[in-house]
Chains A and B, each alone.
Chain A
Amino acid sequence: MPEEQCVSLTDVTFAFGKSAPVLAVSKLSIATEEKVFVYGPSGSGKSTLLGLVAGVLVPEQGSVDVLGSNLATLSATRRDRLRADRLGVIFQQFNLVPYLDLIENVLLPCRFSPARARRVAGSAQERAVKARDMLVRLGLEHEVSSGQVASELSTGQQQRVAAARALIGAPSLIIADEPTSALDTEARSIFIETLLGEADKAAVLFVSHDMSLAAHFDRQISMVEINKAKSTAAAKTHAPERELRSV
């Protein structure tokens, strides 16, 4: 595994408005192509961490280096551009734009990033073919052939389309926010394996409270341990914390 840093957080604090900080991380780094599993109970700052790494949130202090740029000093436009060009994001659910078809959903990042579009293919037709191939690899051949729209898919199928969208155009970092929480156990394993199989050239930052998934990853990080902010919900409720640590 290469040693270069893909993500590096140093002395980062973040607060919503004027309230007390919800996140305080002194050091967190993810190497290129490293698959990292971040776990912690609700309210422990997992989503905030992802927002910072994705460049949607900006830290009050500290630096968030992602793929060689300090997001804290980049303009909003540059952060959006970096995200469009080099990141893939998967949510817990409701990942798709309901009125676009599956291929349009997968190619959505290419609409906001010419560089990413070029990485996929030179022409719009070729890109559509690539997107279709990806969906077929993820087991959605029937759905894409019958021209279904996003809202007609099951949750598991929607998550696979979301994975295809995150993976299209070979991003360097994939951020996933509990993408399996709405799936049953079997679909969950298939999803993780498919995602990690397709993302072998990317770093993955995967957030979940489901410890049964931890074994799929190179490294496991406890949110409660790295987040020193006093005001987090996790800091006040110790029971789930202990349970997770025992894994």
Chain B
Amino acid sequence: MYLLALAWKSARARSAATILTILSIALSVALLVGVEKVRTGARAGFAQTVSGADLLVGARSGSVNLLLYAVFRIGDPTTNLSWESYQRFASRPDVAWTIPISLGDSHAGFRVLGTTQAYFDHYLHGQKRPLVFDHGVAFSGTYDAVLGANVARELGYDLGREFNISHGIVSAGFAEHADRPFKAVGILEPTGTPVDRTIHISLAGLEAVHAGFNTGSPRIGTRRGSTETVEEDLEPDSITAFLVGLKSRSAALRYQRDVNTYPREAMSAVIPGVALSQMWRVVGGAEQALRAVAALVVIAGLAGMVTALLTSLNERRREIAVFRAVGAHSRDVFSLLVVESALLTAAGAVLGVLLVNGLLTAFGSHIEARFGAPMAISGLSAYDLTIVGAVIVAGAVLGFLPGWLAYKRSLADGLTVKL
């Protein structure tokens, strides 16, 4: 116990070197833990985004690509899917439900998603949690809109708020569908998924604003673009993709094969979980590289500490001779440096873990918004504690080097230190 107090006082006496050492270890540990938290957070976030659907169907493309744009709103769809094909596969007897997804428009930088009531009935996220309305209700009219939690919060929109949607996804769309505004009728509770950053409208509503936009610019003088358009006319020609819930999960492979081999239109059906694991395989290499770099930074931090301790040994030879003279064993001298080394790494590691947890708590949602990737950032985890433990052990073991040197010197010096 006394060695611990001595080590602490000794470290405090060299406060500049001690603070810098602790800081460098803290930052390196924060990096290591942060990389892991973001990595597992992103994986959990992606995995939680869609938990109820058996299949995702879109125009033919790579499964990762389809999943990214249809579910995570990352990137843009290449081609759409015809309404007829959707109807055909949605009405199969083995289908329990389908959720059509139509993307391509935006409001104030948030994506607009055209869908049906089925979205609110069947879309599940996290541990099979349904969407819940914070207030308001699902859309019923053509120009009704349901806002994700972040949309409402960041734009400060409440129920009854009217807004226009734009073609394209930039924050100031290159053409506003200004003829008729949408009105917020419902706001969803936060889900921690891209749903929070989405504005949901009916397919009919989307079709209504697009009536004049089929070529990408408004057709002047057409009757369908006017506000008098009646809802029955508003059946869409195409959608971006659709999610499928099957009555029996075992039918998924057959359904997938039928979609993929459908002769009239080139389509792809993917199983979300399979596509996700494909995606993680792709980014896995980069993850490993990142972890390796973070681990190397920790090693650099610890090496810096050993350097600082070794440098301090010369000025501490007299102090060590004093300890020997008053009866300290040589192994006490060894222990003193090991304890000091462990103390510094412990302080650094704990600080680093607190730092990264604090930062992610403070800026986690900002990261999510900035990069558009869902993140399920965990709090203090077993992994954090493992890292703290491992770094302290590594620090103590590295302390053997200055400890052993001090031990050797204390034996050689005896009572007289000649510097």
Contact = CB atoms under 8 A, between A and B. Distances in A.
Answer yes or no: do A and B interact.
yes
A80 interface: yes
A159 B161 CA distance: 83
Given A51-B416, A76-B329, A80-B329, A56 B322 contact: no
B414 A56 contact: yes
Contacts of B129: none
A84 B326 CA distance: 5
B327 interface: yes
A34 interface: no
A112 B327 contact: yes
B273 to A, nearest CB: 59
A89 interface: yes
Contacts of A97: 319, 322-323
A4 B325 CA distance: 25
B9 interface: yes
Nearest to A101: B9
A229 B323 CA distance: 30
Interface in B295-340: 318-319, 321-330, 332
A99 B325 contact: no
B332 A112 contact: yes
A38 interface: no
A96 interface: yes
Contact of B414 (A57, A85, A87, A94): A57
A108 B322 contact: yes
A217 interface: no
A11 B9 CA distance: 44
A50 B324 CA distance: 13
Nearest to B413: A56
B371 interface: no
Chain B interface bracket (under 10, 10 to 19, 20 to 34, 35 or more): 20 to 34
Which of the listed residues B2, B9, B328, B416 has the most CB atoms from chain A within 10 Å of its own CB? B416
A98 B414 contact: no
A94 B416 contact: no
Interface string A68-92: 0000000011001101110101011
B322 A80 contact: no
Contacts of A96: 322
Interface in A22-58: 47-48, 50-51, 54, 56-57
B322 A95 contact: yes
A132 interface: no
Contact of B325 (A47, A89, A98, A100): A89
B12 interface: yes
Contacts of A81: 327
A83 B332 contact: no
A162 to B, nearest CB: 9
A231 interface: no
Contacts of A83: 325-327
A155 B25 CA distance: 38
Nearest to B329: A80
Nearest to B13: A99
Given A54-B325, A83-B327, A165-B326, A47 B9 contact: no
B284 to A, nearest CB: 49
A17 to B, nearest CB: 9
B71 to A, nearest CB: 60
A113 interface: yes
A47 B413 CA distance: 11
Interface in A112-148: 112-113
Which of the listed residues B318, B322, B330, B417 has the most CB atoms from chain A within 10 Å of its own CB? B322
B17 to A, nearest CB: 13
16 contacts: A50-B416, A54-B414, A56-B415, A57-B414, A80-B329, A80-B330, A81-B327, A84-B328, A91-B415, A91-B416, A94-B322, A94-B417, A99-B10, A108-B323, A112-B323, A177-B415
Interface of A: 47-48, 50-51, 54, 56-57, 76-77, 80-81, 83-85, 87, 89, 91-92, 94-100, 108-109, 111-113, 165, 175, 177
Please name the 7 residue pairs, one residue from A and one from B, whose CB atoms are nearest each other, closest first. A84-B327, A99-B13, A112-B327, A51-B414, A89-B325, A94-B318, A109-B326
Interface of B: 2, 9-10, 12-13, 318-319, 321-330, 332, 414-417
Given A47-B416, A81-B327, A108-B322, 12 more contacts: A51-B414, A51-B415, A84-B326, A84-B327, A89-B415, A91-B321, A99-B12, A99-B13, A108-B323, A112-B323, A112-B332, A113-B327
